[in-house]
């Protein structure tokens, strides 16, 4: 390695590689801390560790990833951290490739559903990140040591992010809701096609239902959605599932689905919804209602009026369909 002051000015920008990679690690660790259920679900799909240890693994993952990112940002022991990071990126790439090829996951699960690269894009991205570290490893000055305050910052970051992941998980278990709800599926938010369905044409409403092939309530709810799809007075229906195209065909056939169904990566599904079936009503390009399980009273009234405009017996049948869907 050579001293940084001996580098030409045009080449000095090469040393910012660790900052870029460090910020990426720190951001990914922050997502795991704020939305730990996404990483927990991904670990569950990989099935490498017992489910009872998922919570501890999420805490460790958030703490270690954020600490590693801060070590890169601060230049802690570059002679070790830089090559170790390149090796770590190679290992993470191999794990992602195995998870997708084995059918256990649909994506790498690296960025909490905020960025969902394909397998080829994930490999290219990790290769680029590793490439950013090579110039710094070769050209960065060999420091005699790392100041204690930098090591202290790394430890504090690890404890803070790991602690936040633990608190977030405990809050979710105790209250049944997120401490910080990071899902973009909120009333008033503009609908995005990348969430699984193209927006309805013109003023036509769109009912998007997130389903799971292994969810028994979803199979009951499908019957209600099939009925809605046939009613001209009710919104157009679209289903969204996180699975492979091969498994999707089987789910559509066995459930008797009569409406369009698309797939999204599992990590994005975990980011968007906490449980299935979750349904979103889109009108005028914006989310106007959202619920998990049973229909809310206002939409149940629309459903009942469309199929049973009069008569108590129809009302009871419609309510039964709503209740069974949850």
Residue ranges of domains in the chain: 4-175, 193-325
pLDDT of residue 107: 76
Taking alpha carbons only, the member of 41, 36, 37, 289 closest to residue 185 is 289
pLDDT of residue 210: 96
Which pLDDT tens digit goes with each residue over 83-113?
A: 999 999 999 999 988 888 887 887 777 787 7
pLDDT of residue 12: 59
**b/e per residue 214-250 (b: at least 16 CB within 10 A):** ebebbbbbbbbbebbbeeeebbbbbbbbbbeeeebee
Q: How far apart are the first and last CA of the chain?
A: 63
pLDDT of residue 322: 43
Q: How would you classify residue 293: left for phi > 0, otherwise alpha for psi between -120 and 50, otherwise beta?
A: left
| Local structure of 264: helix, strand or coil | coil
| Claim: this prediction has a pTM higher than 0.95 | no
**What residues in the chain have per-residue pLDDT under 50?**
1-4, 9-10, 312-326
Q: How far apart are CA 160 and CA 67, in angstroms?
A: 10
pLDDT of residue 14: 62
pLDDT of residue 281: 95
Topology (CATH) of 193-325: Glutaredoxin (3.40.30)
């Amino acid at each position: 390695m050579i001293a940084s002051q001996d580098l030409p000015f045009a080449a000095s920008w090469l040393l910012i590689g660790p900052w870029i990679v460090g910020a990426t690690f720190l951001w990914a660790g922050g997502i795991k801390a704020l939305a730990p259920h996404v990483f927990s679900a991904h670990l569950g799909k990989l099935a490498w560790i017992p489910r009872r240890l998922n919570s501890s693994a999420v805490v460790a993952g958030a703490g270690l990833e954020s600490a590693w990112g801060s070590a890169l940002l601060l230049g802690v022991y570059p002679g070790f951290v830089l090559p170790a990071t390149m090796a770590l990126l190679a290992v993470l790439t191999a794990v992602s490739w195995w998870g997708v090829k084995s059918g256990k996951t649909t994506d790498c699960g690296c960025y909490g559903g905020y960025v969902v690269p394909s397998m080829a894009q994930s490999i290219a991205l990790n290769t680029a990140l590793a490439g950013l570290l090579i110039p710094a490893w070769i050209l960065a000055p060999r420091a005699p040591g790392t100041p204690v305050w930098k090591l202290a910052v790394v430890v504090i970051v690890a404890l803070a992010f790991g602690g936040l992941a633990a608190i977030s998980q405990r809050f979710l278990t105790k209250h049944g809701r997120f401490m910080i709800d990071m899902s973009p599926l909120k009333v008033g938010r503009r609908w995005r096609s990348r969430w699984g369905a193209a927006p309805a044409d013109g003023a036509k409403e769109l009912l998007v239902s997130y389903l799971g092939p292994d969810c028994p309530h979803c199979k009951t709810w499908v019957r209600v959605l099939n009925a809605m799809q046939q009613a001209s007075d009710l919104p157009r229906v679209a289903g969204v599932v996180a699975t492979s195209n091969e498994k999707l065909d089987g789910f559509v056939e066995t459930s008797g689905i009569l409406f369009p169904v698309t797939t999204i990566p599992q990590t994005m599904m975990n980011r968007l919804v906490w449980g299935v079936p979750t349904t979103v009503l889109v009108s005028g390009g914006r989310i106007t209602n959202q619920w998990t399980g049973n229909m809310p009273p206002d939409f149940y009234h629309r459903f009942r009026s469309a199929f049973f405009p009069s008569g108590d017996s129809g009302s009871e049948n419609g309510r039964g369909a709503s209740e069974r869907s949850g």
